[in-house]
Structure 1
Amino acid sequence: MKSYIFASLLAAASSVIAAPAPMPTPPGIPSAASAKTQLASLTVKAAVDDGTYDRALFPHWITISGTCNTRETVLKRDGTGVVTDSACASTSGTWVSPYDGGVWHAASDVDIDHMVPLKNAWISGAKSWTTAKRQQFANDLNSPQLWAVTDNVNQAKSDQSPDSWKPPLASFYCTYAKSWVQVKYTWALSITSAEKSALTSMLNTC
């Protein structure tokens, strides 16, 4: 019996040691209740894609501090043990992608995802903004808009909204939906009816 208990305790300790560190998250993620209230207040209308979107209309990865731009700032914020060189480039560290659970040790394997993609913002209200406002949106470190994630997962998402694409980890649906809603609410962007339905379903997993 004693040997069985010891083995059980050892196994439990091993699982604790092997458990991944908590994933850092951007600021401003609301509670599920707040997100549902925010979602209900968003304007619902069809997105208008007239073919005029250009990524260059959203100047991004601007200098944030010293030699560090937005991408490098998020890599340092969301990674653990991140070491940077004099140019602020990450030379080592560990990043856990919340979208798919991927663990990476090279910054080149990590993309910085815009929770609400730039094109989605363009077709849901940002077309009427000034370039300065679009720059603020593309480099928004104050809301849950920028996430360090596995590069090919980010590429698979592209500019799709939650009715067309969801993160591989269903356990992340709640946080993903709360963050998406918060960004749309903060920036007064509209949503489509299909988008609202998908977000509602995702929030119901919270």
Structure 2
Amino acid sequence: MRFRVGLVGLAAAVVGLTGCGGLDAQTGADGNKGTSSKTDVGDARAKLAKLTVKGRAPRTGFDRDKFGPAWADVDRNGCDTRNDVLKRDLRDEKFRPGTHDCVVVSGVLEDPYSGKTITFKRGQDTSSEVQIDHLVPLSDAWQKGAQQWTATKRKEFANDPLNLLAVDGPLNGQKSDSDAATWLPPRRAYRCAYVARQIDVKAKYDVWVTSAERDAMDRVLGSC
């Protein structure tokens, strides 16, 4: 399936986040299955230094729909992006019969943001306990370059597995559209991997950073 091929590419990117001199992040930089990795601080700093630094543009005109339908099946593997990410990030997952292992109905998340173990069960009152976070929020991207993108690029950004992570729902709501200057995961052991991955996403899509955001990212990397 094309998405699985994409995840191989993501795994290669994660290898780029691992190496000597890094801080063990406990949970992998890809947030996947609770695997362990180390953040390559030098690589993250080099990418951060190349990001454009300027002020945040007005939020005027932002609309979720401008990034395409929510959780579109962009890789055409028969599963929407939300289910693809749940399948990637949960363990012991179970699927709705007849969906070709597509619709995830339950599983266990080792939440990278809090360190909690969360049992996921699909349902009207329970699905929101695990949400899919855009590490670089769509609104943040809109104010830092995405207004000028094509609709195709915005849709790709919104559904890129590099920018998506299954996390604790309430913490995702708390984060909202914050950047690194105003919100970081409460679990300090994950902050290096979190910031490094935000930098990867911003570098990939040429999303700029504010000076406060750059300084916050630099401080986190300095503690790794």
TM tier, shorter chain? Answer: 0.7 to 0.9
Structure 2: give runs of 5+ residues left out of the alignment. Answer: 1-25, 33-37, 122-126
> How far 1:205 moved relative to its partner?
1.9
> Residue 176 and residue 50 in structure 1: after superposition, are their counterparts in 2 closer, same or farther (change >3 A)?
closer
CA distance in 2, matches of 1:67, 1:185: 29
Q: 1:3 maps to which residue?
A: none
CA distance in 1, matches of 2:29, 2:45: 20
Taking the TM superposition and a 5 Å limit, the aligned residue runs for 1:1-206 are 23=27, 25-26=29-30, 31-59=40-68, 60-63=70-73, 64-85=75-96, 86-87=98-99, 88-107=102-121, 108=127, 109-141=129-161, 143=162, 145-206=163-224
Number of residue pairs aligned between Structure 1 and Structure 2: 182
Q: 1:5 maps to which residue?
A: none
2:59·2:139 contact (CA, 8 Å) conserved in 1? Answer: no
CA distance in 2, matches of 1:24, 1:195: 23
Aligned residue identity for 2:217: L
Give percent identity, aligned residues only: 36
> How far 1:102 moved relative to its partner?
2.1
> How far 1:50 moved relative to its partner?
4.2
Task: Judge which range, 111-120 or 30-39, deviates more.
Answer: 30-39
SS class of match (2:52): coil
Residues 30-59 of structure 1 show CA distances to partners (whole Å, capped at 9, x for unaligned) of 621111000001110001014211111112
CA distance in 1, matches of 2:119, 2:57: 40
TM-score normalised by L of structure 1: 0.83
Between structure 1 and structure 2, the one with the greater Rg is 1
CA distance in 1, matches of 2:66, 2:182: 24
SS class of match (1:57): helix
Aligned Cα root-mean-square deviation (Å): 1.8
2:29·2:39 contact (CA, 8 Å) conserved in 1? Answer: no
2:53·2:208 contact (CA, 8 Å) conserved in 1? Answer: yes
CA distance in 1, matches of 2:164, 2:136: 9
SS class of match (2:132): strand
Aligned residue identity for 1:61: W
> How far 1:84 moved relative to its partner?
1.0
CA distance in 2, matches of 1:90, 1:172: 26
SS class of match (1:95): strand
Q: Which has the higher contact order (CA 8 A, sep 6+)?
A: 1
Residues 7-33 of structure 1 show CA distances to partners (whole Å, capped at 9, x for unaligned) of xxxxxxxxxxxxxxx745528x96211
CA distance in 1, matches of 2:85, 2:28: 10
Structure 1: give runs of 5+ residues left out of the alignment. Answer: 1-21
